[in-house]
Amino acid sequence: MTLDGIKEEIKKAKKIVVLTHESPDGDAVGSSMAVFLALKNNNKDVDVIIPEMPRTFEFLPGVNEIKKESDVEKYDLAIALDCADIKRLNGFSAYFENAKRSIVIDHHSINSMFGHYNYVDPVAPATAQILCGILKYFGIEITKEIGTCLITGIITDTGGFKYSNVTADTFEIAASMLEKGVNISNIYERVMQTVTLSRFNLTKIAIDRLELLEEGKIAFTYITMEDEKKVNAEFGDHEGIVEQGRSIEGVLVSVFFRETEKGYKVSLRANNNSNVNVADICLIYGGGGHIKAAGCLMQYPLEIAKERIIEEIKRSIK
């Protein structure tokens, strides 16, 4: 069985590296830190590499041990978390490919199964939730610190326990974390409610610009690199802007574009009462994600990129 194979590989490995996807979110960082701490607590020699991450997650235990880069030849086992494709490995695919053995643990249904061992559960709302089960199966203790990392991933990937992807397990895990003394209320406030002034101002610009299209079924907004400069935005400050459009009554799909050096980074969110699969739309443009939350990169001018995405959404709504 895959899990026993994974356990065996970890047991044998002398030097392990933990990797996650680019533009890491709470699930990416939380899952990475949880695996890092769990392996360290079990006397494994392990590095976690995250080159850039949002300040919001700096409270997580162990973050001062995160490496920004390392020696690519050094590892005999690589573990990729919350990452659907080797291309999204933070520019660190070489670490993954160079490692003698590799493990993928993820919850994206479109995962390309790029490891020697692939443990993918598309029904799980977060990679962190899958990890709760795996650590339990391995008999590794979920300490308060590890629990803090895992619940952070679960909270952020479920929009604070509210998306349709939550399962009965989600709440059972939350209950067991509370019993361990994990401060869920504090974590919730940090990752879901507290925003820096820059982030607030960036959101304000995007809200001012928000348009409702197709009789209010599609919300569209965007931010430019210039906007980010103007508000002194930090890495990750655009996260969550796409949710603003989704929360408007009658909106089925919310679209958010973020201008980057490489093109427009597209974020799509579908509402529970829509039957639009936004991952399918993003796949057309080389991206991916989940049925109700997905993204892609579009290398076209704003108006053209907008027109193409809106056209695809219109087609799916009908």
Encode burial over 281-316: b for 16+ CB neighbours within 10 A, e otherwise.
bbeebebbbbbbbbbbbbeeeeeebbebbbebbeeb
Residues 221-260, mask of contacts with ligand 5GP (x by CB under 6 A): ---------------------x------------------
Nearer to ligand 5GP, 57 or 75 (CB): 57
Q: Closest separation between CB of residue 21 and Mn ion, Å?
A: 8
CB atoms under 10 Å from CB of 156, counted, come to 25
- Please tell me the number of Cα atoms within 13 Å of 184 on its side-chain side: 17
Among 27, 227, 237, 239, binds Mn ion (CB under 5 A): 27
Among 297, 300, 314, 317, binds ligand 5GP (CB under 6 A): 297
Among 38, 134, 255, 293, binds ligand 5GP (CB under 6 A): 293
Binders of Mn ion among 65-104, rule CB under 5 A? 82
Q: How far apart are CA 216 and CA 201, in angstroms?
A: 25
Q: Closest separation between CB of residue 266 and ligand 5GP, Å?
A: 8
Report if residue 239 touches Mn ion, rule: CB under 5 A: no
147 binds, among Mn ion, ligand 5GP, none (CB under 5 to 8 A by kind): none
Assigned token pair, 63: 């973050």
Judge contact between 219 and 210, C-beta under 8 A. Answer: yes
In what helix (H) or strand (E) does residue 155 lie, and over which residues does it extend? helix 144-157
Report if residue 294 touches ligand 5GP, rule: CB under 6 A: yes
Q: How far apart are CA 96 and CA 104, in angstroms?
A: 10
Report if residue 157 touches Mn ion, rule: CB under 5 A: yes
Among the listed residues 134, 136, 171, the one whose alpha carbon sits nearest the alpha carbon of residue 154: 171
Report if residue 90 touches ligand 5GP, rule: CB under 6 A: no
Among 288, 298, 306, 313, binds ligand 5GP (CB under 6 A): 288
Q: How far apart are CA 317 and CA 256, in angstroms?
A: 18
Q: Closest separation between CB of residue 295 and ligand 5GP, Å?
A: 2
Residues of this chain that interact with Mn ion (CB under 5 A) are 27, 82, 127, 157
